[in-house]
Amino acid sequence: MKRRTFDKLVSFVGLGFAILLFIFAGLLNYGASFANENVQTQLENQNIAFPAEEGLPANTKVQLMKWAGMQVTSGEMARDYSDLYILEHMNASSTAVMGKAATYSEVSAAYMGLVRGGSADTAKIAQLGDLRQTLFMGNTLRGMLLQAYAFGIFGVVAGYAALASLLGGLLFLLLAIAGFAHIRRTPEDAMI
């Protein structure tokens, strides 16, 4: 095989890879932008904000200080609001009623046990019913916020992949250009 033919083949393959990586970079950048903008828009529509410094729960105050008084607009903020603010309040509420941090299913089982068992302790039934409702709403909101966090992570990963594809495309483009320049300097009759 002639050296010029081989150089042309390798250079065109490199150019093809460059074009393919540029297409991937564009698509990944679109995906990253879509995910990040969608997460931000959806969270802004919820109008959820971290309380000011004095309203933060004691156990997670240090971790939440960076968001004090800010509106939740990113996946990371949504995760922190869910895991460090809502969950803290849910645990405090269940500890006040049950004596320990309890899940929705545990509280619901205790509530249903009293109701189905015909308990006459209406105050306890009311407490468990209110706690059951609080935990249900808290878990629902946490699920929505953690979903926003997950899509935010997809956006971040797609952004990094777009950057890597762009850099890879530039590298292959430079190598293809170098290959085409090498072809011009290679004699017609050179063999591999």
Q: What is the pLDDT of residue 3?
A: 84
Q: What is the DSSP string of 98-165?
A: HSS---HHHHHHHHHHHHHTT---HHHHHHHHHHHHHHHHHHHHHHHHHHHHHHHHHHHHHHHHHHHH
Triad 122, 93, 102: Cα angle to 5°: 90
Residue type at position 61? K
**Least-confidence region, from 27-31, 60-64, 122-126, 186-190:** 186-190
Q: What pLDDT, in 10s, does the model give residues 34-56?
A: 999 999 999 999 999 999 988 88
d(CA 125, CA 108): 11
- Judge if pTM exceeds 0.95: no
Q: By C-alpha distance, which of 163, 159, 157, 165 is closest to 18?
A: 165
